[in-house]
Amino acid sequence: MGIPAPPLDETERQQLIGAMRTAAAGVPPSVQTEFLVRHAAAADAAILDEAVEGRVDLLVLGTHGRSGFTRLLLGSVAEAVVRKNTCPTLVVPPRAADIPAATPVQFGQIVCAVDFSECSLVAAAQAIQLARQTAAHLTLLHVIETPPELSEDTLAADFNIDHIRAAAEAEALRRLRDLVPEDSKRRGAVTTAVEEGEPARALLRTATDLRAGLIVMGVHGRGTVDLLVFGSTAFHVIREALCPVLIVRKD
């Protein structure tokens, strides 16, 4: 067991607050800003406690990527916070860290993954609201995974896989369009798209092609979130994304 770090003295505390003030120099004066320094045995527990006590609506988590992003997420403060936080979490991965701190957030393009699970529908609703508030264009994306047993090499000669694919895509597009509010349809503010392949790769490819400024994903609550975030689609997206990723929980 490691030895806990000694409490900060006042000079060290003020140095940290000064560094935070410098980092927040681009925040408009109209935005109320508070700088807190906590001494705790576990950083993740302190962050989560502050989020609960402060009734936080959004937690922003930056990841520096030192020692490799896999190590950073697995068995680290970032892992614990993403796993246990109950409000939406905005994760800024290392590859998105070249945006100047004083640059206003202009998403432009938002991509939201929708697999029609309850948690993804919650994420889609939040993505639609966010796009409306920021005047961004939103793409609702569904990815169809083709099971290995349906590969063309293993099918009977009279099996029309193209017909099956077309029918599945049409049904997915219909369900996606049903999620779009009428005013967004009229303004053309939301696009629906269906891709085929491995979900994380298809999502990342779409986000890159659209030069998305934000990816939105839904994950289930405690119990299944570990499986979804670590070693599965959301984990790979966070690790490889070129833009921030908003993780929306559905408990």
pLDDT for residue 54: 87
33-55 core/surface letters (b: 16 or more CB in 10 A; e: else): eeeeeeeeeeebeebbeebeeee
Closest by CA to 80, choosing from 16, 89, 28, 203, is 89
Closest by CA to 169, choosing from 203, 194, 146, is 194
Mean pLDDT of 80-89: 82
Has this prediction a pTM greater than 0.75?
Answer: yes
pLDDT for residue 120: 92
> With bands split at pLDDT 50, 70 and 90, how would you rate the model's confidence at 251?
low
The string of pLDDT tens digits covering residues 132-152 is 999 999 999 999 987 555 555
Residue 183 and residue 179: Cα distance in Å, rounded? 12
**Residue 115 has what DSSP assignment?**
-
∠ CA 41-45-48 to the nearest 5 degrees?
A: 150
Residue 74 has pLDDT above 50, yes or no: no
- Structural domains of the chain sorted by starting position, each given as residue range(s) with its CATH number in brackets: 40-250 (3.40.50.12370)
Give the position of tokens 């900060």: 8
Mean pLDDT of 205-225: 82
